[in-house]
Amino acid sequence: MRSAPAERLLVDGAELARLRQSDGDDVAAAVRVGLIHLRPWMPWATEAAADPVAQRARGREAELHWDQGSDYSYVLRHSENGAILGMFGLHRRVGPTALEIGYWLHPDYLGRGYATRSVGVLTEVALSLGDVDRIEIHTDEANKASAAIPRRLGYRLDRIEPKTPQASGETDRKQIWVTP
């Protein structure tokens, strides 16, 4: 039986909450504002991803994946005003006893430590699950801001793998960061 993380996690100044279908409109609005920032690194960052209908469908899918134990998607909201700061996820796609952490942040909240603090909380929570012994974070070699997060948290660069770029800012080199 797979262990699941808590549906709500406190982060200094914010809260990670399980992504729900009802978050779709807010997520779509955050994606729309962040498209220019996200497009170089996220192949999914398109006009279609900024559509509330698409994000409500994504929320339904996230609920199903959570219940199946394959992915745990979170929306990060500001603790005072409820604004969406970004999205984070724990994904069971890197091995039977491992999770990959993925993330993106709303451009208005960059450089304030939200992503680092959230990934730190998710790392601790994931490692406390009984069936997880390793966490990975994958970053493109050119995405220095994204790679700074695992570095700050004490992850080590395990390897660099070749990959086919999927977004305009990506290189053909994927960095794989792992928990020590």
Per-residue pLDDT of the chain (180 residues; tens, 9 = 90+): 578 999 999 999 999 999 999 999 999 999 999 999 999 999 999 999 999 999 999 999 999 999 999 999 999 999 999 999 999 999 999 999 999 999 999 999 999 999 999 999 999 999 999 999 999 999 999 999 999 999 999 999 999 999 999 999 999 999 999 997
Q: Is residue 64 part of a domain?
A: yes
How far is CA 39 from each of CA 15, 29, 46, rounded to the nearest angstrom? 25, 15, 7
Residue 86: what residue type? Answer: G
Q: Which two tokens stand for residue 160?
A: 């660099």
Q: How many domains does the chain have?
A: 1
Q: Is residue 117 part of a domain?
A: yes
Q: Is residue 98 part of a domain?
A: yes
Owning domain of residue 61: 8-133
The Cα–Cα gap between 179 and 153 comes to 9
Q: Is residue 74 part of a domain?
A: yes
pTM of the model: 0.96
